[in-house]
Amino acid sequence: MNDISAYKKGLRDGIPIALGYFAVAFSLGFMAKKCSISPLQGFICSFFTRASAGEYGGYTIIMQDAGILGMIAMSIVTNLRYLLMSTALSQKFSPDTPFFKRILTGFCVTDEIFGISIAYNGYLNPYYTFGAFSVSTPLWALGTMLGIIAGNILPARAVSALSVALYGMFIAIIIPPCKKDRAVLLSVTAGFILSFFADLSGIAGKLGLNSGITIIVLTILISAVTAYIKPHPQDTAFDSENNG
Amino acid sequence: MTGSTWIYILTMILTTNLIRIIPLTLIRKRIKNVFLQSFLYYVPYVTLAVMTFPAVTEATNSPVAGYLALITGIAAAWAGLGLFPVSMICCAVVFISELFLV
């Protein structure tokens, strides 16, 4: 696939992401407004961070005026999963992918854009990621700004319905490999079950942690156990994808 | 306060993006270790699973609508539908079911 068609495919696959972003960013905007964030500040912050949980945490720090170190700590904790995602993406590039394209791809990483980039068949063409980025980022920033300006424009029913667009997309990413690979199916099922009980028990709150930490801990735990039980050498996987 | 708000936002932007970019600058070769390869192979799917459930049931006005969306979404994705159709089906399920539930 050449760069232009990869970019177009990225644009197309970015549409559901953009729709979901808009709804979520809108409600993030309501929250930002409570923390005295201006519409311009919200737009710029959302455009350059694209981090839902990270922004939520960050705006809390701003509201409490908890200091720059507090902001750094909050940003690291709420976004630590991006470290794992970028590490996984580093293995998805063709060896001849130029340095600046790797950096730009890293800049584009969000939960959703990572999800579709890692599902790309064979080596990742960075233009696919750039396409998804360029359709979804403006709507994320715009949604935040409009949420701050306008408050509650959308009816509650529409917000409720739109808010599952993101999760629908997550499901569409994780289910196809579950059909092909029983180890993925097992790890995803374990993820659902343990996440459910972690939430039910409120364990994170009892330990003074936030839900972002629960996501990190469960991800590392389940992935490590699955990797130990059912090794999946990735070089051969890439080779077979490229040959097939 | 407005001045320091911008400094906070700048800090947030720098930290968040450094986390994303650092692994891509440090790790340029293929990882040979089979355990690490396998670990990185499972991470994305597990993360998305953990982030999806039970959060999807808490995002909607009615938790039942969230469960219905989850089940329908899994069925639709299992049947081979792509990202956008599955997303829209989930939204439609929530919208329609909440007409009765809420």
Comparing alpha-carbon positions, the chain B residue that sits nearest to A102 is: B24
Count CA within 13 A, CB hemisphere, residue A159. Answer: 18
CB B37 within 8 A of CB A233: yes
pLDDT at residue B96 above 70?
A: yes
CB B58 within 8 A of CB B67: no
Provide the 8-state DSSP code for B31: P
pLDDT at A243: 33
Nearest Cβ partner of B24 from A106, A176, A194?
A106
> What are A111-162's pLDDT values in tens digits?
889 989 988 989 999 999 999 999 999 999 999 999 888 766 677 788 788 7
Token pair, residue A243, equals 């040959």
Mean pLDDT computed over every residue of chain A? 85
Comparing alpha-carbon positions, the chain B residue that sits nearest to A24 is: B59
pLDDT at residue B2 above 70?
A: no
The shortest C-alpha distance from A207 to chain B (Å) reads 19
Structurally, chain B folds into a number of domains equal to 1
pLDDT at A213: 67
Sequence ranges of the domains in chain A: 3-164, 181-244
DSSP letter for each residue of A52-68: HHHHHHHHHHHHHT--H
Q: What is the dihedral of CA A72, A74, A76, A80, to 10 degrees?
A: -170
Phi and psi at residue A88, to the nearest 5° = -65, -40
The shortest C-alpha distance from A156 to chain B (Å) reads 8
CB A165 within 8 A of CB A23: yes
- Residue B50 lies in domain: 2-101
* pLDDT under 50: residue ranges of chain A: 236-244
Convert A65-131 into a string of H (helix), E (strand) and C (coil).
CCCHHHHHHHHHHHHHHHHHHHHHHHCCCCCCCCHHHHHHHHHHCCHHHHHHHHCCCCCCCHHHHHH
Nearest Cβ partner of A68 from B11, B56, B89?
B11
Q: Residues B17-34: what's their mean pLDDT? A: 84
Residues whose CB falls within 8 Å of the CB of residue A121, separated by 6 or more in sequence, listed in order: A241
- Are the Cβ atoms of A219 and B8 closer than 8 angstroms? no
Question: If you compute the radius of gyration of chain B from its CA atoms, what whole number of angstroms results?
Answer: 20
> What are B33-78's pLDDT values in tens digits?
889 888 888 887 888 898 889 989 988 899 999 999 999 999 999 9
- Are the Cβ atoms of B60 and A79 closer than 8 angstroms? no
pLDDT at A212: 59
